[in-house]
Amino acid sequence: MKRWTNLALLVLLGTAFTTGWVAFFYGTAPSRWSLVIHAGSGFAIVALTPWKSVIARNGIRRRRKGWVDSLVFTVLVVVSVLAGLLHSSGLLVQAGPISAMEIHVGAALVAIPFAVWHVIARRIPLRGTDLSRRSLLRGGVLLGGAGLAYAASEGVVRVINLAGAQRRFTGSYAVGSLQPGQLPVTQWMFDNVAAIDAAGWRLVIAAGGSVRQWALDDLMKFDDRVRATLDCTGGFYSEQDWSGVWLNRLLPETQGALSLLVRSSTGYTRRFPIEEAARLLLATRVGGMALDAGHGFPVRLVAPNRRGFWWVKWVTDIRAEQLPSWWQVPFPTQ
């Protein structure tokens, strides 16, 4: 049971980590499905606690080199799981400036080096019997139990009507919908709000060998509109009326181009399939009012059905390129 528990934890941690990021990547149905698997693997990790605590107690008693690192790892996993449950149930979604979701993902990220070290330092050689019928049966029982526990937790959240019952399929909570003044200001990891002087600012559009510069006054003349939901990976969503110009209207010639690289003045970039140009709005206003610096003044991208980190703010240039749209790190690193 000891080997099996550790191997099961390895598979479950890998699954939880991967499905968490898949859920972040999409703003559509795959996000929900990967979150079901995500929650199931999270509950299965918790279900293994009685067995793992025996292993851990024995290990700690032996004071093997690095046991303190194993304890730090344990604390990080516990914090991550608790924050995940606080977020999903809605018991504590926001603590001052930081959200439970940020703590959830932050603790999981900090845990990575500890997890790698733990698995290498306490490695267990794989055996043929690890895939025996008995092992697989145990796995089935564990996953079945975890699935039931997850379904029961979702049921309880609804029956006693916790805030979690109101969350979107991505797990996010509504904040300030159709009230642009209440739209929170958030940045991806290390990105910072840029203060831009509109007078000197120009938007550079490079496509099909030509380069055109747009001043803000000229962009303000467009009034294309879309109602879209900004779903932030920090754990909130907000529906707003955006206006500006559909990107395809600014692109004279994109023959042969496969993707659009959208860059902000901070160096933050995202690449989109060229076919999406007709569905990407370069917004100059939200709720009829000019954007403020926190929301991307002078112009920001509105990318319906994509999570917030695709909605590039403070856009300075857009290039049609012959690179495929997947030619980028899946998540920005700044």
Tell whether residue 84 is a contact of ligand HEM (CB under 6 A): yes
Q: Is the CB of 39 or the CB of 203 nearer to ligand HEM? A: 39
Tell whether residue 15 is a contact of ligand HEM (CB under 6 A): no
Out of 74, 94, 135, 265, the residue judged to bind ligand HEM by CB under 6 A: 74
CA distance linking residue 187 with residue 167, whole number of Å: 21
Beta-bridge partner residues of 205: 212, 318
Out of 33, 56, 139, 222, the residue judged to bind ligand HEM by CB under 6 A: 56
Tell whether residue 270 is a contact of ligand HEM (CB under 6 A): no
Of the listed pieces 78-86, 183-191, 259-267, 309-317, which binds ligand HEM according to CB under 6 A? 78-86
User: Beta strand 98-99 with 94-95: parallel, antiparallel or unpaired?
Assistant: antiparallel
User: Look-up: residue for tokens 């159709």?
Assistant: 178
Q: Is the CB of 118 or the CB of 306 nearer to ligand HEM? A: 118
Out of 153, 186, 269, 328, the residue judged to bind ligand HEM by CB under 6 A: 153
Q: How far is CA 102 from CA 191, 193, 236, in A?
A: 15, 19, 11
The least CB distance from residue 224 to ligand HEM, in Å, is 31
Tell whether residue 149 is a contact of ligand HEM (CB under 6 A): no
What is the per-residue DSSP string for 62-104? TT-TTHHHHHHHHHHHHHHHHHHHHHHHTS-SEETTEEHHHHH
Angle at 12 between CA 154 and CA 161, to 5 degrees: 10
Q: Is the peptide bond before 97 cis (omega within 30 degrees of 0)?
A: no
What is the per-residue DSSP string for 152-182? HHHHHHHHTT-GGGG--TTS-EE-STT-GGG
Which two three-digit tokens encode residue 119? 């698995």
Tell whether residue 105 is a contact of ligand HEM (CB under 6 A): yes
Q: Is the CB of 42 or the CB of 296 nearer to ligand HEM? A: 42
* Nearest residue to 11 via CA among 50, 36, 37, 32: 37
Tell whether residue 81 is a contact of ligand HEM (CB under 6 A): yes
Q: How would you list the strands of the sheet with 269-273, edge to edge?
A: 210-214, 203-207, 315-321, 259-264, 269-273
Q: Which of residues 171-230 bind ligand HEM (CB under 6 A)?
A: 171
Q: Is the CB of 66 or the CB of 176 nearer to ligand HEM? A: 66
Tell whether residue 162 is a contact of ligand HEM (CB under 6 A): no
- Contact residues: ligand HEM, CB under 6 A: 6-7, 9-10, 13, 16-17, 20-21, 23-24, 35, 38-39, 42, 45, 55-56, 58-60, 62, 64, 66-67, 70-71, 73-74, 77, 80-81, 84-85, 87-88, 104-105, 108, 111, 118-119, 122, 124, 153, 167, 171
